[in-house]
């Protein structure tokens, strides 16, 4: 388990990560989602004690990373595929790591086999493609057969087969009870892999929830209606037992009802319409809206999470929930 408590990272006056509190649970793949520059990589580096938090702390199974004896046997991380010596053979690179953590040499050949690099084990990674470099980085992460895996954008540079392979790898490790944290800036990638979701934007925690909950709260369908007779519309829909939400610009959103039904009700009530259209908010949109708002919060005054005027109404609730969940953990 990885636990972050009030982790903050400041470079000069620039706050990169702000008061992050969440935990990453074993037995699941946790997606770490945020747009580029949200602070994902910095947070992951702090988990490995490569960057020191300005405030707060990270605990790995209750210990500080620096206090772990043979940390590669507990945490395997892929942060940067190029973090190997290009002039030293793939196998020797792994051997150097193995020796430092008292991992047997046989394990080096095992992981090379697992990531499919056995044929180029004696080659120098200088000549590797991005995908091969990524596989070598993954081999290094798996070397100590760790209980915790941390992958920063692992699908970068991988071909479709490689992407499928890494997804399967993460799923199978999680199924074995491992803690798997994987970062991405793509929601679509997360929906395919993650059980849980931690969303950050501008270094702040925006959501900490299960994937299914996130989908339930964000992938909503609704019917968009525009009318010159708002009162009449409201009455008609209320009489039919439908929920209507007022959006700006004289637009109404009717939630959880098929578009045909809304049309029939409004036709029967003889409400004049300028627009009637079914809408589907994708997870990607929900994510962009959520992180886009984080930008606004940042430039505004210190208020933690103001109510949102429109759109992803679920966000403030989730923020509250995530904070509560963080405190419990």
Task: State the minimum distance, in angstroms, from the CB of residue 68 to another protein.
Answer: 7
Task: State the minimum distance, in angstroms, from the CB of residue 278 to another protein.
Answer: 49
- Determine if 45 is a binding residue for another protein (CB under 8 A): yes
Task: State the minimum distance, in angstroms, from the CB of residue 160 to another protein.
Answer: 27
Distance, in Å, from the CA atom of 27 to the CA atom of 148, rounded to the nearest integer, reads: 10
78-to-12, 22, 37, 209, 251 alpha-carbon distances in Å: 27, 21, 18, 24, 47
Q: Give bridge partners of residue 207 from the DSSP assignment.
A: 199
Task: State the minimum distance, in angstroms, from the CB of residue 98 to another protein.
Answer: 8
Distance, in Å, from the CA atom of 40 to the CA atom of 34, rounded to the nearest integer, reads: 7
How does DSSP assign 152-201, residue by residue?
A: ESTTTT--HHHHHHHHHHHHHHHHTT-EEEEEES-HHHHHHH-SEEEEEE
Q: Is 256 exposed, middle or buried (0-12, 13-18, 19+ CB in 10 A)?
A: exposed
- Determine if 37 is a binding residue for another protein (CB under 8 A): no
129-148 binders of another protein (CB under 8 A): 140
Residue linked to tokens 């925690």? 205
Distance, in Å, from the CA atom of 6 to the CA atom of 158, rounded to the nearest integer, reads: 34
- Determine if 192 is a binding residue for another protein (CB under 8 A): no
Residue count, binding to another protein (CB under 8 A): 35
Spell out the residues 6+ positions from residue 120 whose beta carbon is closer than 8 angstroms to its own. Answer: 90, 128, 132
Task: State the minimum distance, in angstroms, from the CB of residue 56 to another protein.
Answer: 15
- Determine if 52 is a binding residue for another protein (CB under 8 A): yes
From 137, 15, 124, 26, select the one nearest 76 (Cα to Cα): 137
- Determine if 59 is a binding residue for another protein (CB under 8 A): no
Tell me the torsion sign for CA atoms 257, 261, 267, 270.
negative
Which 3 state secondary structure label does DSSP give 149?
A: strand
By beta-carbon proximity to another protein, the closer residue of 40 and 291 is 40
By beta-carbon proximity to another protein, the closer residue of 100 and 261 is 100
68-107 binders of another protein (CB under 8 A): 68-72, 75, 77, 79-80, 82-89, 92-93, 95-97, 99-102
Rg, Å, the chain Cα set = 24
By beta-carbon proximity to another protein, the closer residue of 55 and 99 is 99
Helix (H) or strand (E) holding 87: none
By beta-carbon proximity to another protein, the closer residue of 95 and 273 is 95
Task: State the minimum distance, in angstroms, from the CB of residue 325 to another protein.
Answer: 28
User: Which tokens belong to 205?
Assistant: 């925690």
By beta-carbon proximity to another protein, the closer residue of 139 and 257 is 139
Task: State the minimum distance, in angstroms, from the CB of residue 73 to another protein.
Answer: 10
By beta-carbon proximity to another protein, the closer residue of 82 and 298 is 82
Contact 142, 172 (CB under 8 A): no
Pick the stretch among 64-72, 114-122, 230-238, 308-316 that binds another protein (CB under 8 A).
Answer: 64-72
Task: State the minimum distance, in angstroms, from the CB of residue 212 to another protein.
Answer: 33
Task: State the minimum distance, in angstroms, from the CB of residue 9 to another protein.
Answer: 9
Binding site for another protein (CB under 8 A): 45, 48-52, 65-66, 68-72, 75, 77, 79-80, 82-89, 92-93, 95-97, 99-102, 140
């Amino acid at each position: 388990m990885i636990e972050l408590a009030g982790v903050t990272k400041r470079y000069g006056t620039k706050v990169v990560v702000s008061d992050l509190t969440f935990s990453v649970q074993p037995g699941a793949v946790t997606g770490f989602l945020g747009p580029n520059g949200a602070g994902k990589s910095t947070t992951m580096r702090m988990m490995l004690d490569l960057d020191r938090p300005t405030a707060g702390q990270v605990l790995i199974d209750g210990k500080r990373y620096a206090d772990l004896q043979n940390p590669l046997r507990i945490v395997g991380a892929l942060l940067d595929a190029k973090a190997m010596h290009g002039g030293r053979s793939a196998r020797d690179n792994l051997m150097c790591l193995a020796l430092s953590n008292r991992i047997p040499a046989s394990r080096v050949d095992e992981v090379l086999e697992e990531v499919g690099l056995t044929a180029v084990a004696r080659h120098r990674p200088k000549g590797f493609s991005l995908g091969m470099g990524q596989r070598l980085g993954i081999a290094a992460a798996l070397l100590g057969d760790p209980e915790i895996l941390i992958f920063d954008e692992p699908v970068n540079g991988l071909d479709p087969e490689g992407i499928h392979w890494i997804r399967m790898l993460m799923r199978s490790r999680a199924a074995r009870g491992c803690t798997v944290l994987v970062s991405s800036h793509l929601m679509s990638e997360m929906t395919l892999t993650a059980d849980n979701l931690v969303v950050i934007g501008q270094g702040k925690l925006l959501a900490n929830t299960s994937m299914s909950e996130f989908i339930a709260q964000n992938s909503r369908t609704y019917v968009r209606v525009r009318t010159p007779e708002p009162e009449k519309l409201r009455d008609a829909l209320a009489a039919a037992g439908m929920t209507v939400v007022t959006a700006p610009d004289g637009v109404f959103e009717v939630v959880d009802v098929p578009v045909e039904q809304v049309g029939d009700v409004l036709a029967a009530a003889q409400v004049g319409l300028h627009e009637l259209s079914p809408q589907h908010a994708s997870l990607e949109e929900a994510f962009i809206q959520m992180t886009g708002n984080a930008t606004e919060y940042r430039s505004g005054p210190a208020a933690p999470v103001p109510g949102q005027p429109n759109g992803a109404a679920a966000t403030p609730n989730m923020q509250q929930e995530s904070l509560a969940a963080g405190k419990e953990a």
